[in-house]
């Protein structure tokens, strides 16, 4: 297993922006990370939303990531 260190937390540099939606008809949730912001906060927020949708017993939870952002490559394994 490849060990990857997380980048240093850069508080105040970028604001965390996550768009979350839920379609009750199809029982599908969507989490889109628009801007990462603080690395630790991003992981906490995604985990909290994922937990909420698991409790709601969502059939599908989509996580949309911006492939042009450098943190996507670093955090994708953590999101899995």
Q: What is the dihedral of CA 28, 59, 40, 34, to 10 degrees?
A: -20
Structure tokens at 16: 């965390």
Burial class (CB in 10 A: 0-12, 13-18, 19+), 45: middle
Q: What is the pLDDT of residues 25-39, one digit of tens each?
A: 999 999 999 999 899
Print pLDDT tens along the chain (80 aa): 344 445 544 444 579 999 999 999 999 999 999 999 899 999 999 999 999 999 999 999 999 999 999 999 999 999 98
* For the chain, domain boundaries: 17-66
Question: HSE-up of 13 (CA within 13 Å, CB side)?
Answer: 10
């Amino acid at each position: 297993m490849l060990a990857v260190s997380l980048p240093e937390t850069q508080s105040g540099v970028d604001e965390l922006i996550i768009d979350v939606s839920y379609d009750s008809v199809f029982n599908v949730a969507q989490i889109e990370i628009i801007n990462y912001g603080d690395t630790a906060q991003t992981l906490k927020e995604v985990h909290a939303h994922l937990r909420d949708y698991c409790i709601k017993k969502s059939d599908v939870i989509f996580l949309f990531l911006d492939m042009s952002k450098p943190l996507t490559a670093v955090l994708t394994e953590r999101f899995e």
